[in-house]
Every structure is written in C-alpha cells, then in structure tokens.
Structure 1
Amino acid sequence: MKTLPLVSVLIPCYNVEKHIINAILSLNNQTYKNIEIICVDDGSTDNTNKIIKEIQLEYSFVTLISQQNKGILEARRTALNHAQGDFIVLLDADDKLESNAIYNSIQCLHEHKCNAALFEVYKVTENETHPFIIYTEHKIITGLEALKSSIGYWKISSLGVFKKSVYEKAFITFDNIKVESYNSDELLGRIALFESDKIILTDSKYYYTTNLSSNTLSFKMAWLEVFKTNKTIKEYLINNQIYAQIRSEFFNHYSIDFVRMQKHFRKNKKSLPKKDLIKYRNICLKSIRTLSFKEWLESIFNKNIPIKRKLKFLKSYLSLKLTLL
C-alpha cells in the first residue's frame, strides 16, 4: 500500500469510567498508526465524559461526542456519521484489541480485495483469557456464508475491520426493518456481514471483557425482546430469498434462545412478582409462532439438526408449559 487508509474506531460509551482508558491505550499501541478514535458519550452519569476529555489532552486523534442516552446502536450510528475513515472498527469501551489487529486486517483487505476482515474473539474474565471464536482456516468467504455462520451459534464474529460503506448500507437496511430490542445491535452486525459480499477471516485478536459479577448480568425482562429480534431475522432472510438455505441454522438459533430464556425463568421464579412470571411465560410460549406448524414438522425430522438440540428445546418447552404459577 502506497498510502495507509484512515481507520475510524467507533466506541459507544455509557458509564465506563473504569474501562475506557484501557480501551484507548490498546488503540494507541496499535502498530497501524493512521487511526482516529470516536467516542460517543451516551448520557453517562459517571466520570466517563471527564476522563475522555483528559485523554484528549494527550491523544489528539480522540474525538468526543456527547448525546442524551439513546442506547448502543444509536451511539454507534452517531460515531459512524462523524467517521472520516474509509474503514471502521467497532469497539466496546471495556474491550481491547491485539496490538497488530488493525494492521494485519488492513493488509488482508488490501491483498485480497475484501470488504471486511473479521477478528478472532477471546473472552476475558477476572481470572483468565480463553478462546471464544477461533477460525480453523483463515480464508475468504461470502457474505451469505458469513451470515449463515452467525445464525445459531456464533461460529464467526461480526467484529473486525469493515469498509465504512458496508455499515452505512447496513444502517439503511436496518432502518427499513424498524425493530427495537435490547440485542438489535446483533441484527445490525449480521446485516453488515451479508452486505459485505466478500470477507476474510483473520487471526487478529479482539479481547471481549465479560464480568460475571456485573450487574449487567442480573435478570432483565428486556431479554425477552430476543424473540422480537429473531422474528425480524427470519423476515430479513425471507426478504433476501435466503431463508430456505439457512432454515436449519435458524431453528438452532431460535431454540438456543428459547432454552436460555427458560433457564432464566426457572432461576428467577422465586424472586419475580407473579404478574411478571405470567408475562414472561406467555411471551416465551407465544414465540413458538415464529415458526409455522409446517416448519416445526420439518425441523423435527431434519437430520441436519442434532437430536440433542431438539430434545433440549422440547424439555424446556414442556417445563415452561407445565409450570404452575
């Protein structure tokens, strides 16, 4: 490459005073130097804004934008609208990148003429770091293959270096869908994968921090919105005429979420008010309609869907259905 393209790193920030410095330091330590960092303070009530302003005194490539709290998706949109680079990276404020992650990815994009270079993902807890999404082959795949691999289990990540135009297109598509849920950012990521057309899987590392003792892991009724997102994913697949190719993966995707929600129901049954329990159970059971009766029959007899997955779902469904409140 004769000239190094500018890479914009987009960081939504909400009450991250304990983490934002480490995230920015991981970017300052990148071997790829032509970057800008756009932090969007999404209505923080702690010292996040103050800390970023102090960081700006030392690092001129950090931009701070403040807005009222709108959620992570809108914070990313704001950052994207202010990005000057031809390429973007999405980074959460409590996560970090390996020092050569951006350099390696840009090299891969240039060499193979791809629209996205995806990171491997490592989970970081208080005591250890372990692989979460690792690629056995660092190869080129299509947007359809990437989308298919993201449905059900996350076999690939939606984190990496993307052409800015890919996410601009993805936001337009997302806005036409018009869905609001707590995990709608995952839907946007999947749209971006499909819109990328040509993607390379790299060995660049993204370090995803998960705090098992965090309040963010406490029970939330908003988690049930995952079923709304699933219904929207199915509609998106149908509208793009690719649902038939991903039907098995979608059943896995839906059943994993259903089993997870049933476990939360069982775990919190004694602590939630009865009216919330009734609402919770009804939403879970109603979500069954995401698949038609014909699709349920096809899924039951589909040999590509593991028997263990079917039995887990059936057990969770019966447990929820027969629970006395």
Structure 2
Amino acid sequence: MQFIDQAEIQVAAGKGGDGIVAFRREKYVPAGGPAGGNGGWGGSVIFTAVENLQTLLDFRYNHRFQAENGGRGGPNNRTGANGKDLIVEVPCGTVIYNAETDEIIGDLTEPGQTLPVAAGGKGGLGNKYFLSNRNRAPEYALPGLDGEEKLLRLELKLLAEVGIIGLPNAGKSTLISALSAARPKIADYPFTTLIPNLGVVRKPTGDGTVFADIPGLISGASDGAGLGHDFLRHIERTRVLLHLIDVTSEDVVADYHTIQQELEAYGRGLAERPQIIALNKIDAVYLEEAELKDLATQLNHLSHCPVFLVSAVAGIGLEPMLQEVWRSLDELSASMELVMSNE
C-alpha cells in the first residue's frame, strides 16, 4: 500500500432546496391560500477518524467531495427532504487545514472523533411563509442558499509514543523489527526506509506501545534535503525520542550533532523532547568494552541523556534500553496527571 501523508482536496456542502409557490386546490375549500413548502437543508461535509486507515491514499485520486443537495419544497406545506451528510473517513492523526489561510480547522486523533468542515445551505422559504394581512396570496418564494465550499489541506501525523530517529543506516528498521512484529524493508544501503513504519512493543504489563521508525534524517533535512523534511512531522506527536547512532561511524559525536541540529532547525519543540540514545551495532565494531563505555559516557555528558550500548541484530542491550523507555513514559504520564489535577 502506498503511503501518502499529505493531500489537498475541495469539499462542498449541499445547496439548500428551493421553496415553492403553491396554493391549496381542494374541493369545497374556496380561497385555500398559499401552501408552498420550504426547501430542505443541504447536507454537510463531516470528517471522522477511523482506525483501519493508515494513509491518505484515497485523497490522491479523489479531490472533490460533494454532499447531497436539499430537496425542493412541496405543495400542501410539505418541506423538502434534507440532503444527506457526506461522511469522509480519515486516519487517526489527520490535521485539517484551510488551504487558503493555512488555519487549522481541526485535529482528529481519536477513533470516532468527528469534525464538521462545511455546513449545508439553508432551504429556501415557500410562499406560505410570506402570508400576511397585506398579502393574502403571495406569489413568490426564496431559493435555497449555497452550502459552504472550502479548499482543504490534509496532513497525517502518525500517532506513536516513541519515535526512532537517526541517520540513514543507523539500524532503525532492524531495531523496530527486533522489538515488534513490524517487518520493514532492511538492506545495507542508505534510505532503505522510504516511509515511516509503525510497530507495537509490549510492556511487561502487557500494554502495547506504538514505536515509529522514521526514515533517515540527513544534514539539511529541515530545509528539505533527503527524506527527513517529509517525515519530521511524524515525530511531532511522540513523547520520547529513541536516538539511534551507528557506533561503527567515523565520528559518532558528529552524527549526534547532525540530528540535534535538524531537530532544532525544524522547531515545534522536537529538540526539547526527552531522548534516549542507543549506540547500535556494538557487535560489529573493533573496540574494547572499556572504549565503548568511554564513548557512551562522553555522549552522556554531552547530551545529558541516558546512553545505552546495543545491537539490534544480536539483541544485545535491548532490555535495559526498553526499561528506560518505559520509565520515561511513566514519568511523563505522572507529570501530566499532576498538571491536570492542579488545574
């Protein structure tokens, strides 16, 4: 399935039905008077978040969404039928923008959450409405009003608690496949991962936590270089960043700084997000254990973040790293509960 996380569409609510001009024409009822009914309301366009969608692919080929028009009023004061609302399903995590003003209309994060984006037009008034002492037989009615029409931009931001970040070939896909049932493409060349991958990692309590493997960032990613610019948005919602660094690199510290600079340049609080650093591929480097520990200590002093020595392929050091992830998430949850209790 093709992963599409941005789309621009046009939505149009239904037009209200026209009111009509009609008079009672019944036997034995002389001068029956006006009896033209009002038009029905036009249908609205409503977005709803669903769990079974993971991409905005449907919006690549269908760019216009039109709700049903309201029905025309009828004789004998019958009101026209209301137009049927158009329900548009989107993945959880979809942000809806007004494409012309760049204003956020809504953010759908929970399954079943709904958002009306275009209101249907009001039905026109029939001539019955205009009956008065001065005008006993009005011969005019009003047309229905047009429904709202908007140009929208949709952006999908994955809902994951832990984002795995790092340079290309740091071993992110291997790590998520080792921790979860996700099976992303893995190969020995840069940019193997072309789309974000999600995997559910089980806590000791049995609860599932969603990890997102974000395609490799490179220097200049925040300005559009490589693939990072397209996917940095997907870690905006994460609570903890798991920063994976290839310990076989020529300059591990420089690799750390490259990612940090891109997070700072992108903004939106990513650089301040809690991080856990994992020096990966320790089974493939010709360094003594003491040298590896010295390198971890150096990064710890530099970043003020916990640093772990791991091998995603061999499964070395993953459990202590996960324990720190769970601890960080629990600490963030406790802090949030404290803030909410004080409000």
**TM more than 0.5:** no
| Higher Cα radius of gyration | 2
More helix by share: 1
Q: Structure 2 length normalisation: TM-score? A: 0.23
